[in-house]
């Protein structure tokens, strides 16, 4: 009997412990199931978020035109520059890409007004892909012409490239007391680009303190010595195309990035004598590109020109080649003339378009009229009454300079505001 009781007690304890163990095992799967359910739910949420970002990236990618030839890049959503044929194998793996899309900017308050007489112009037309640009000289490094869509550009590759405009007497001071410099720059997202205001190959700087350059150390900042400023909008691409303007007037210097003035220096301590475009950081990984370079001599204020000549000659109003599409950097002049008309309500203008002699006479006549209408319509949209403006196209019939040089053609491609 005692033995039977002992056996039953042992059996009871076994069953009890087995039950307790089972209960404990039931609790653990519940917790595990809850965790697994949470894990899978989070995974599904992550999939949804990733899908959303994928769609967003597709939308962003659609803003850029893709090359037919795909290359390995660190910025896959931007368009790769077409490389010169003799450098294709070296450069096609570059991490630097160019977006052909223009910056989405508001140029309504842009106040840069370019000089009215062009003394150096290079749109790189007629240049051969892979060759050194013919209107420039080389101080150091490697620079070549490359093709981007229908545009030719100067590509700064490696070797700390520095290029200078080619002038016959380049050792002389070829910058006047009042001048402007304009160009488009592709900044690859890293490194520093410098604009030296003397010719580093042929001239001495003349600066007592050593600083001669406006530097672009970031995608949104400009510096000159201790003066520096950044774009107010931080939400822009680090690798991007930007428009650069510099205006110098008897010691006073202003510099612009896109539509924003970043430097306004009342007096620099040296006389600018030439130009060098330079970067220490260009490489096959970080390629810099430059196009649409222009140096122009400044002139008299617009109202004084009206009193003196009865018209304003504007060579800085520019359009896409062969089209009446206004380039955004033209807005500085248009804003200035608009403000002049607002300050002087009695002023009325005939807006007159002129072209160079490229193309045939009849096409140029039509093109010049369409361009004049584009300028007039832009001013009407800015608040000028349409009855104060009229338009006329003269095509290539009234050149103000020779059509035998790039600078002469640039001066002939103009818009005149003739007082009525």
| Average pLDDT for 271-288 | 96
Element (H, E) at 373: helix 361-381
| Average pLDDT for 362-384 | 96
| Average pLDDT for 31-52 | 44
- Tell me how crowded residue 176 is: count the other CB atoms within 10 A of its CB: 16
- 3-state SS class at 31: helix
| Cα distance between residue 295 and residue 214, in whole Å | 16
Q: What is the pLDDT of residue 351?
A: 97
| Cα distance between residue 72 and residue 94, in whole Å | 7
| Average pLDDT for 133-147 | 96
Q: Is the pLDDT of residue 102 over 70?
A: no
- Lowest mean pLDDT segment, chosen from 37-46, 252-261, 326-335, 387-396: 37-46
| Cα distance between residue 169 and residue 118, in whole Å | 17
- 3-state SS class at 242: strand
Q: How confident is the model at residue 229 (pLDDT cuts 50, 70, 90)?
A: very high
| Average pLDDT for 383-402 | 96
Closest CA to 214 of 193, 195, 186: 195
Element (H, E) at 362: helix 361-381
| Domains parsed from the chain with CATH numbers | 102-297 (2.60.120.560), 302-419 (3.30.1330.60)
Mean of the per-residue pLDDT values of the chain: 81
| Cα distance between residue 288 and residue 155, in whole Å | 6
Q: What is the pLDDT of residue 148?
A: 77
Are 14 and 20 contacting, i.e. CB atoms less than 8 angstroms apart?
Answer: no
Q: For every residue of 225-236, which 3-state class applies, written as one string?
A: CCEEEECCCCCC
Write the pLDDT tens digit of every residue in 286-309.
Answer: 999 999 999 999 877 888 888 889
- Tell me how crowded residue 92 is: count the other CB atoms within 10 A of its CB: 17
Q: How confident is the model at residue 225 (pLDDT cuts 50, 70, 90)?
A: very high
Strands 252-257 and 240-249, how do they pair? antiparallel
Q: Is the pLDDT of residue 399 over 60?
A: yes
Q: How confident is the model at residue 67 (pLDDT cuts 50, 70, 90)?
A: very low
DSSP per-residue codes, 34-56: HHHHHHHHHHHHHHHHHHHHHHH
Cα–Cα distance list, 244 to 43, 193, 420 (Å): 47, 11, 35
pLDDT exceeding 70 applies to what percent of the chain?
A: 74
| Cα distance between residue 240 and residue 256, in whole Å | 16
Token representation of residue 84: 């010169």
Q: Is the pLDDT of residue 419 over 80?
A: yes
Q: How confident is the model at residue 106 (pLDDT cuts 50, 70, 90)?
A: low
Element (H, E) at 304: helix 302-309
- Burial of 377 by CB count in 10 Å (0-12 exposed, 13-18 middle, 19+ buried)? middle
Q: What is the pLDDT of residue 107?
A: 64
């Amino acid at each position: 009997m005692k033995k039977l009781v002992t056996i039953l007690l042992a059996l009871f304890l076994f069953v009890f412990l087995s039950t307790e163990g089972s209960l404990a095992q039931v609790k653990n799967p519940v917790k595990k199931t809850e965790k697994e359910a949470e894990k899978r739910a989070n995974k599904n949420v992550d999939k949804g978020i990733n899908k959303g970002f994928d769609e967003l990236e597709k939308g962003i990618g659609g803003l850029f035109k893709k090359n037919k030839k795909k290359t390995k890049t660190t910025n896959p959503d931007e368009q790769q520059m077409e490389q010169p044929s003799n450098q294709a194998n070296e450069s096609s793996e570059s991490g630097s890409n160019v977006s052909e899309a223009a910056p989405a900017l508001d140029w309504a308050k842009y106040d840069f007004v370019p000089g009215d007489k062009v003394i150096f112009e290079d749109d790189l037309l007629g240049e051969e892909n892979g060759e050194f640009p013919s209107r420039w000289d080389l101080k150091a490094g490697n620079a070549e012409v490359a093709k981007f869509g229908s545009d030719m550009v100067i590509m700064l590759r490696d070797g700390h490239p520095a290029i200078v405009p080619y002038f016959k007497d380049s050792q002389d001071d070829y910058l006047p007391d009042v001048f402007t410099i304009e160009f488009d720059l592709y900044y690859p997202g890293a490194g520093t680009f410098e604009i030296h205001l003397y010719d580093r190959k042929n001239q001495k700087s003349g600066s007592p303190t050593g600083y001669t350059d406006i530097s672009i150390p970031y995608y949104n900042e400009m510096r000159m010595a201790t003066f520096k400023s950044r774009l107010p909008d931080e939400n822009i691409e680090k690798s991007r195309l930007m428009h650069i303007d510099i205006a110098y007037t008897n010691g006073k210097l202003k510099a612009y990035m896109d539509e924003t003035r970043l430097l306004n220096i009342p007096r620099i301590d040296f006389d600018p004598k030439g130009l060098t475009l330079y970067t220490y950081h260009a490489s096959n990984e970080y390629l810099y590109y430059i196009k649409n370079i222009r140096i122009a001599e400044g002139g008299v204020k617009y109202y004084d020109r009206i009193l003196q000549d009865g018209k304003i000659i504007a060579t800085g109003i520019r359009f896409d080649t062969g089209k009446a599409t206004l380039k955004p950097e033209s807005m500085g002049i248009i804003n200035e003339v608009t403000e002049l008309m607002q300050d002087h309500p009695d002023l009325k203008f005939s807006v007159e378009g002129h072209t160079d002699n490229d193309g045939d006479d009849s096409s140029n006549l039509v093109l010049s009229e369409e361009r004049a209408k584009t300028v007039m319509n832009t001013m009407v949209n800015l608040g000028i009454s349409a009855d104060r403006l009229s338009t006329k196209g003269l095509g290539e019939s009234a050149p103000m300079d020779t059509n035998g040089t790039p600078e002469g053609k640039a001066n002939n491609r103009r818009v005149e505001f003739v007082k009525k």
